[in-house]
Structure 1
Amino acid sequence: MTENIWAAAFDIVRSLREAGYEAVIVGGAVRDRIMGLTADDVDVATSALPEQVKNVFTKTADVGIAHGTVLVIHPLAPVEVTTFRTEGTYSDHRRPDSVKYVTSLKEDLRRRDFTMNAIALREDGSLYDPFGGREDIRSGIIRAVGDPDGRFGEDALRMIRAVRFAAKTGFRIESATMGAIGRHAESIRKVSVERIKMELDKVWKSGRAGLAMELFHQTGLAARLPLMDSSRSASDLPVWRKFGEPDESVEGWALLSLLAGSPEGNPYKLSNAEKRTVRQIREAFDIRISRPYDEMDLYRLPAHALKTGWKFAWLTGKTGLPEPEEIDRRKAQLPVRSMRELDVTGNELIAWTGEKGGPWVKKWLGKIEEAVVMGRIPNQSDDIKGWFINGFNSER
């Protein structure tokens, strides 16, 4: 897919240039290419107006037409094409009040957040780099384009993005840029938690969550972000430094909620699936810090939750190093994986007792389920019947 999207982008640039327009590849894809990383998205910027872009290509979609973006549906991969533009004031610190199309590539790059993201790649492979982004990449520096106070005053989310890029790359945030984040930290409260969540999802997956949390505290952002109480920095930072690169970003939300003492991380509007996973991880953690997992724990909770709960118990110094292969092995040895695999049904319980159906059936199926999982009886109808009848009669 990566090769296809690059080929599609270069082909689109070529077609626009042949039609008489300036066109280049811009954004994070260029940064990642310089750094030798793969890019998931490749964007094109052009002097052509949106309607002119649509006239050049036969298949397009108006994905962001209000801001000058047209999706060109290329046979190899869809690519977003955006007209060169400048942006008006950001009265809400989140989005521009207006955009203005321009014919200057330099003016288009000037509006971008950091020098590493303000580099254009031409069709012949050469770079247009008016703000020194390539040198900053080589030096491992994250630097705002132009005046950092202006950049963060326009869009406060850029402060979170600076930290996220530091976590992704291991680069240092340049001192003037760092200072401006501290001065504008309070304005992060004006940014929707949905936008912040999208950035933090990437922070958790970066492999450097500890660095990110340290920067959040140093800049004062932590004091303004939900669940990041700066007073806990001394005890929490060592945990985040050992967090590593998780399999899923939800692990970051689970650890944040655990350290904050919040049940689900609701301030960030997690999805229902994410909230469920956070609860499962927290449950697994609570079990593991008090005792080893038993077979019912392995049966009830997903392997990912069990492994992550154990990992968190280790991160917080409450257990030894987690052994994920042990969980996989023991889960594979469980006699059943769900109640549907029991060699008995509710109708059989009714038939064996001669009683009418009722809540007792569900209760006894649960007891049988636990007895089978824990190895107290085999998952065989005759064995279950004898065990059940004895227990049922003893309760009458």
Structure 2
Amino acid sequence: MKIEKLPQEFVQAQPILATLEQAGYEAYFVGGSVRDTLLGAPIHDVDIASSAFPEEVKALFNRTVDTGIQHGTVMVLDHGEGYEITTFRTESTYTDFRRPDSVTFVRSLSEDLKRRDFTINALAMRHDGEVVDLFDGLSDMTNGIIRAVGDAETRFTEDALRMMRALRFSAQLGFRIADDTRQALRDLAPNLTRIAVERIRVEFEKMLMGGNAAESLKLALDDGVINYLPGEPLKIWDNIIQHLATHQPADTFAVWSLVLAETDLTSSQINRFLRNWKLSRETITTVMTVVPLVRQIDKVSTFDLYQALPYQKTLFELLTLLDISNATIEQIRHIIDMLPITNSSELAIQGGDLIREGVMMPGPKLGQCLKKIEYAVVNGELENTRESLIQYAKEQVNDDN
């Protein structure tokens, strides 16, 4: 098969392949960029595999960076772009279920491709667009199948994360997982506990954001994969699957908000769950702000919504994911739209104004007074004008005295 019209990203990289080929080496485009081109999807990084060994690559190009030379990868800098060229290689055993204990550079494309995870990712492409398919990846792509290259148990034993990648690709592409590959996934799922949480998290998040997320999550649940993921066991995966059937999260904030919104976990348990997944402080803060609001959305106050303004994108997305009625969502949106201020800096006075006016001295009571002013303005109890706020502050001082 030949791709007649190559995306511009490949065209720009063709001189790299030409240089390698003119020096007598083989060179191919490989990996996700080839797969995505065949699927009609946007491509990102253009990766190149070659029979040239790292030192041979470096001898051919003026500007190179040793990005992973121990694994055979050298980055070539050309016209403002960086292209990673990786030497054909074979790999030894994987003691840690993640990295090969050693790699051996080879001159054979087939030896290199047969170590890759799935047939749809084991495609190579020549500079002219001719696709090299040694493992029926094109057929699997046409039939919508995620299939391990060679023996699935071997591939998953080499790197247990490949099981999560199978689920993720299934969710993103809407492909089914081949029977033998799925059986290996069932059998070897316990090995996921040996994989770094951060690596699992990335694949899990991508899976839940995929268009076929409901089916992939159901498969993970049915096959027991879910039991070997980080965090406390949850009882509401079936609910999440139902929500994912109609809507998918647009970002990771929404992913984790959806996962936890309908659990019975307390605030401290939610915090621990998110920390076990090694999520960022920003994600934890977002989820722990939005989830309590949604749990009591019928009773939420104006000031609660005001405090949640920095997280309103996630709030509205979660309401949609949970199939909250449009009437309720519009009511929440109306309350937010009608807020007189969006943060305390928009108050007509600040602490310095009260000090200069001689109303209050610096100290804790000043901060407490400003909080009361902010609360009253947000709730529509106080007009946000300088005169009104100073008068209110004076009344607070008199009340305290």
TM over 0.5, yes or no? yes
Answer yes or no: is the 8 Å Cα contact 1:284–1:309 preserved in 2: no
Partner of 1:225: 229
Answer yes or no: is the 8 Å Cα contact 1:201–1:249 preserved in 2: yes
Answer yes or no: is the 8 Å Cα contact 2:77–2:83 preserved in 1: yes
Work out the CA distance in 2 between the residues paired with 1:246 and 1:83: 38
The 5 A counterparts of 1:109-148 are 109-148=113-152
Equivalent of 1:284, from 277, 284, 293?
293
Equivalent of 1:386, from 388, 391, 394?
391
What one-letter code is carried by the residue in structure 1 that aligns with 2:399?
A: S
Superposed CA RMSD in Å reads: 2.3
**1:295 positional shift:** 5.1
Work out the CA distance in 2 between the residues paired with 1:245 and 1:236: 10
Answer yes or no: is the 8 Å Cα contact 1:188–1:224 preserved in 2: yes
Partner of 1:89: 93
Partner of 1:202: 206
* C-alpha distance 182-230 of structure 1, shift in aligned 2 (>3 A): farther
Work out the CA distance in 1 between the residues paired with 2:286 and 2:234: 26
SS at match of 1:388: helix
The question of 1:307 aligning with 2:312 is answered no
What one-letter code is carried by the residue in structure 2 that aligns with 1:263?
A: I
Partner of 1:263: 270
Answer yes or no: is the 8 Å Cα contact 2:360–2:366 preserved in 1: no
Work out the CA distance in 1 between the residues paired with 2:102 and 2:163: 21
Equivalent of 1:294, from 296, 299, 302?
302
The 5 A counterparts of 1:139-218 are 139-218=143-222
- Flag as ranges the 4+ runs of structure 1 deviating above 6 A: 322-326
Work out the CA distance in 2 between the residues paired with 1:391 and 1:311: 42
Query: Could you list the runs of 5+ residues in structure 2 that have no partner in the other structure?
Result: 1-5
The 5 A counterparts of 1:67-106 are 67-75=71-79, 77-106=81-110
What one-letter code is carried by the residue in structure 2 that aligns with 1:301?
A: L
Answer yes or no: is the 8 Å Cα contact 1:253–1:278 preserved in 2: yes
What one-letter code is carried by the residue in structure 1 that aligns with 2:74?
A: V
* C-alpha distance 342-162 of structure 1, shift in aligned 2 (>3 A): same
Answer yes or no: is the 8 Å Cα contact 2:167–2:220 preserved in 1: yes
The 5 A counterparts of 1:341-380 are 341-352=346-357, 355-380=360-385
SS at match of 1:45: strand
Equivalent of 2:341, from 300, 325, 336?
336
* C-alpha distance 332-137 of structure 1, shift in aligned 2 (>3 A): same
SS at match of 1:263: helix
**1:355 positional shift:** 4.6
Deviations 1:114-165 (A, max 9, x none): 1000010111211110100000000001111001111111111100000000
SS at match of 1:82: strand
Work out the CA distance in 1 between the residues paired with 2:33 and 2:20: 19
Q: Which moved more, 1:48-57 or 1:200-209?
A: 200-209
* C-alpha distance 252-226 of structure 1, shift in aligned 2 (>3 A): same
Work out the CA distance in 1 between the residues paired with 2:281 and 2:294: 20
Work out the CA distance in 2 between the residues paired with 1:345 and 1:148: 65
The question of 1:248 aligning with 2:246 is answered no
Equivalent of 2:284, from 250, 272, 275?
275
Partner of 1:20: 24
* C-alpha distance 254-381 of structure 1, shift in aligned 2 (>3 A): same
Work out the CA distance in 2 between the residues paired with 1:116 and 1:309: 33
Query: Could you list the runs of 5+ residues in structure 1 that have no partner in the other structure?
Result: none
**1:3 positional shift:** 5.0
The 5 A counterparts of 1:34-73 are 34-73=38-77
Work out the CA distance in 2 between the residues paired with 1:335 and 1:251: 27
Work out the CA distance in 1 between the residues paired with 2:222 and 2:202: 21
For these two proteins, the number of residue pairs brought into alignment is 389
Answer yes or no: is the 8 Å Cα contact 1:94–1:154 preserved in 2: yes
* C-alpha distance 121-357 of structure 1, shift in aligned 2 (>3 A): same
**1:309 positional shift:** 4.3
Work out the CA distance in 2 between the residues paired with 1:110 and 1:224: 28
TM-score norm. by structure 1 comes to 0.91
